[in-house]
Every structure is written in structure tokens, then in C-alpha cells.
Structure 1
Amino acid sequence: MSVLFNPVTAPLIQGALRIQSRLRNITRRDGASGLGNNALSARGRSEKAGEVFIVGAGPGDAELLTVKAYRLLQTADIVLFDWLVDQSVLDCIPRHIEKVFVGKRCGKHSVPQQEICQRLVALGQAGKRVVRLKGGDPAVFARTCEETAALTEANIPFAIVPGITAASGASAYTGIPLTDRSVAQSVRLMTAQFQNPEKEADWASIARSAERETTVIYMGFKRLALLCQRLKENGVDANMPVAVIENACCNQQQVIAATISDIVQHVAQANMTGPALVVIGHVVNARQSVSLELLNQSYEKLAI
């Protein structure tokens, strides 16, 4: 009997035969050792090492999650999430997976960072597959190093999965560029919340670069008046453009653009409550007309 060689199906058949052979070998080995499938499963569960994935949830919109982040959310035993993780992201987590809030926010009930670290270690030692879900990107103002230090000390394996940081997301969803060849050749990311509450930023340095640099301030909403005051005291033009972006990349996104001399009044009139990013620089006047309708189109509308 002759067999015709098909260049398309031949590799598939060969691959299937290799898999079949490996499965046969595994079955023989398990049988020889006297361990059935049930015994193997029981032993695996009892000896399973815990693992922690520190995952960036992005700036809001669940469709901005990375594919890897989404996959890990589907396979976790438990998810510990922050204040800034949007509900649309939490809705991506299957119902059977335990979700625990461990957020921190100024003026609100907060879970101390030391307690979060202790929980991660305890869950890892219990053999759990843990997703530590952080708003934005874990590498940007997320206190990730404190958590990885605790995991390292406890000898618990971990991995970090990046997310879109709030500055990038807000830029895309508002049309305010972070850099522009004509007005800003660099961007500075900074936080207004310091370990020492009395500490402040290097305003002199920010002021010197203000004409050619964009400054994005995370967690600066409550200190907006102080930020503007310090910039003017250090010589920044009172007409310097500034934008406050509340709930970036979410359905409740709101943008107020003004100058450092009057932004506080405009924000007060808009009844903003945060969380919000503060963007300072001439890029605010280079804002592009982004269509939020296009960004918010559902898959159902696009389906053929």
C-alpha cells in the first residue's frame, strides 16, 4: 500500500504522534512507581509552592489590560486589589476567585503597607497562586519594592507584569501629549505623596525645566493649591498651562484645563473629588481632538 506525503498535514500528524508517545511514557512511569492519577494530584496539592504575580491593572478601562494580566486573573486562587483598580477590571475576574481589597487612599480607610506584605507572604506560604493587582503600572509609584522585598525574604517566587501607567493612559484618552517637538522634549513623572508628609519636591528644578518639559504629578489632587503656589514662587509664569484629569480612562473621566494661576478655582467649581492626575506644561495647549466615542465602542457594535 502506498501513502501520499502531504506537506501540510504531515507535520501535524508527526506532532500528534510525539505527544501520544510522551503520554504513553508518562503513564508507564506512573504505573511503575505505584502512583495513580489521584495520588499524584493529592501529592501535588499538598506540596505545591505558592507564587505571587504583581500585576498592573492599567489606568482604568479593562480593555487596556495586557493579555498576560487577563490570563493571570482567570487562573488565580486569590486577587488582592487596590483603590485605583477600576470596577470594569474587577468584573473580569471569575466569580469563584476570591477578591480582597487592600487599598490605600488619603482620607479613606486604608490597609497598612506592612499588613499587605504580611498577607502576600502568608498566602504564598499557604501554596496559593496570588495576583497582587495594582492600578497603573507596578513600577511607577506603586510601592512594589516593599512587597517584593518581603517575598524575597520569605523565599516565595514572584513575577511582575507591567501595565499602562496613568500618565500614558490619560494622555491617550484626553489627547494631551506627554511630549511635543515644539514645546516639550522630556517628561517628568513625580508624586506629591512622600514618605515624610512634610517633604516637598525640588520646585526649583521643576521651575527651571517648565518651559520645555512636561510634569505629570501623581496623587497631587489634594495638594493642587500648594503645587501652583510653589511653582509661581519659583518663577514659573502664572499663565503656564495645567490640566487636572479626574478618573482617567474611565467612564467618569473629567478634564479641567486652565493655568497655574486659576486652576484651583476651576477645579473647585467642577466639584472634583479625585483621584486625579495633574499635568503641567505647554503640551496642555497642544491637546488633540481624541474621539472618546471611538475608544468606547463595544465589541458588539464592531461585530459583523
Structure 2
Amino acid sequence: MNVATPAAGKVWLVGAGPGDPELLTLKAVRILKECRIWLVDDLVGSEVLDLASDTTRIVKVGKRGGCVSTSQAFILRLMARYARQGHHVARLKGGDPFIFGRGGEEMAWLRERGIAVDSVGGITAGLAVGSALGLPLTHRAVSRGVTLVTAHTADGVPPNWKALAQSGLTIVCYMGMSSVGQLGKELLAAGFPAGLPVAIVQRVSCASQRHAVTTLENLDSDVRNRGLGSPAVIVLGEAVTHRQIDVANTSTGMPFARAI
């Protein structure tokens, strides 16, 4: 007697954006509707999950620094197991899968094991922060480019801050809030000026978004005084002075800090 072989499944690495469900791409929404199983990162906005149908199985596989987290090895095995059972699986990630999201590692691992995998890009917080504050990350008068960088590295070796200090680019720093005091010291030691404008934006694009604008020398104290924390991005550069939002946003009620 022949036993039916399960239909081949597939994994989709889907970027959920920074939190606002309206920032999902049309393709992401379509793929999510096609996937019965969602493996959801901790930074995915709660309103994005409202798009799930009654038959969607949502498995939370959050990974947050300093917190009890699902191991990456377990997440990989889970994706493979569901796909081999014939399911279409959405690996739903905050932001974009390929910007500090391990998308490249996961895609390579799945392909090495013969599992079909594809991806859908998302808006990363480091880009969404521009619209959130009306802040031009590039500006022809003060910044000819933007760099996305992480303050937390797997091997503990920091970015080449000295080179970035000399670049004149706008710097958007991820994963810097847990050691913001040390980060500020490293940036000053690398040659960033003490008076460099800085914006710290927590929960970019969400209804709970908060921000503060300060200078590099006051970064640590202002973060503490404002009670800001993760998830947040830190924007460094003269472009910060060209932001357009400094007062309460009457449409969302989001609180904003003082201008420089």
C-alpha cells in the first residue's frame, strides 16, 4: 500500500516593518494570508497580528537582548519541521529580514537542507524614523548618505567608529540602548563632536512612539531622564536639526521632546 507523501511546504521570511501595520507591503499581506503558520518575532507590532485569520497558528519565537529568548537553533528546526509537513510558513520579523534580522543566515540554512524559502522585504526602523520625525536622513546641505549600524555585535568588536566619525554621513544606530552610556563614550573617543545633534526614537511608527532630541555629550543623561529604552534607534548627524516634528502630534497623541 502506497503512503501519500506530504506536499512540499515553503518558508517565507517576511518583513513586518517597524510596527505600524499600514507600513506592511501589499505582498507581505498577501503572503501572510497564504501562510497557515506564523513564527513571530518579539518586535512585530501587535496590530500586525490582527491580520491573522481564525485558522492561523501563531507561534511566538521572540529574541530580545537581555531577556529569556527562543534559541536560533530551535527556530531553524521549527521552520524546517513545519515546511517538511507541507505547510507554508511565515517567519515574521520586525523591520526587514535582511537588516539585522538574520535573514541571510536563515535562508542559507534552509536552502542547504533542500527546503523552499523566499522572502518579502519590509521597512526597517532606521528608514522609517525619517518619516516619523520628518527628518531627512540625507540632506544635500549636511549629509550625502546614511549608514545603518549596530552597536551590539556577535563577536564584541565595535564598528569602526573613527571611520564613521570622519564620513560626514547620518548614522542610524540599532541596538545601542542597553549600553548607551558606553556607546556615547566610544563615539566621543572616536572623534564625533560633543555637540553633534542626536535623536533617540523609541518604538518607531507605533502609537506608543516617543522621542528625544539632544546632543552627543548629553545622550546618556537625556535617555535616562526621559525614561527611553528598547526598541529604539539612535540617529546621529547634522540632519537631525532639519527634522520637522518637535511638538505633540495631535493625530496620534505621541509625546515629543524639546528641540535643541
- Deviations along 1:187-241, whole A, 9 cap, x unmatched? 1111112111x321111111112xx210001111112212211121122211001
Distance 1:55 1:292, change over 3 A: farther
- Deviations along 1:138-194, whole A, 9 cap, x unmatched? 111111122112211221111110111111111111112111111100111111121
Describe how 1:152-167 pairs up with structure 2 within 5 A: 152-167=111-126
- Aligned-partner SS, 1:137: coil
Corresponding residue for residue 76 of structure 1: 35
Corresponding residue for residue 256 of structure 2: none
- Aligned-partner SS, 2:154: coil
Corresponding residue for residue 247 of structure 1: 203
- 2:9–2:82 contact (8 Å) kept in structure 1: yes
- The separation in 2 between residues aligned to 1:184 and 1:154, in whole angstroms, is 44
Pairing partner for 1:226 from 182, 187, 201: 182
- The separation in 1 between residues aligned to 2:160 and 2:77, in whole angstroms, is 34
- Aligned-partner SS, 1:261: helix
Pairing partner for 2:158 from 183, 200, 216: 200
The AA in structure 2 aligned to 1:88 is E
Distance 1:231 1:274, change over 3 A: same
- Aligned-partner SS, 1:189: strand
Corresponding residue for residue 64 of structure 2: 105
- The separation in 2 between residues aligned to 1:95 and 1:169, in whole angstroms, is 30
- Aligned-partner SS, 2:31: helix
Moved more, 238-247 or 67-76: 67-76
Moved more, 222-231 or 93-102: 222-231
The AA in structure 2 aligned to 1:288 is Q
Deviation at 1:68? 1.0
Corresponding residue for residue 258 of structure 2: none
- Aligned-partner SS, 1:159: strand
- Consecutive unaligned residues of structure 2, counting only runs of 5 or more, are 254-260
Corresponding residue for residue 257 of structure 2: none
- The separation in 2 between residues aligned to 1:61 and 1:71, in whole angstroms, is 17
The AA in structure 2 aligned to 1:121 is A
| Backbone CA RMSD of aligned residues | 1.8
Q: Does 1:269 align with 2:225?
A: yes
- TM-score (normalizing by structure 2): 0.91
The AA in structure 1 aligned to 2:166 is R
Describe how 1:1-304 pairs up with structure 2 within 5 A: 46-196=5-155, 198-209=156-167, 212-289=168-245, 292-293=249-250
- 1:54–1:158 contact (8 Å) kept in structure 2: yes
Structure 1 runs (4+) greater than 4 angstroms displaced: 290-296
- Aligned-partner SS, 2:98: coil
- The separation in 1 between residues aligned to 2:224 and 2:204, in whole angstroms, is 18
- The separation in 1 between residues aligned to 2:189 and 2:233, in whole angstroms, is 22
- The separation in 1 between residues aligned to 2:117 and 2:252, in whole angstroms, is 33
- 2:6–2:85 contact (8 Å) kept in structure 1: no
- 2:15–2:120 contact (8 Å) kept in structure 1: yes
Identity between Structure 1 and Structure 2 (%)? 37
- Deviations along 1:90-148, whole A, 9 cap, x unmatched? 11111320001111101111111111111111111111110000100111111112211
Q: Which has the higher helix share?
A: 1
- TM-score (normalizing by structure 1): 0.78
The AA in structure 1 aligned to 2:215 is T
> Which protein has greater RCO, CA pairs closer than 8 Å, 6+ apart?
2
The AA in structure 1 aligned to 2:220 is V
- Deviations along 1:21-75, whole A, 9 cap, x unmatched? xxxxxxxxxxxxxxxxxxxxx96xx531111111000111001111111112122
Number of residues paired by the alignment? Answer: 250
Distance 1:113 1:148, change over 3 A: same
Deviation at 1:79? 0.1
- The separation in 2 between residues aligned to 1:139 and 1:59, in whole angstroms, is 14
- 2:207–2:252 contact (8 Å) kept in structure 1: no
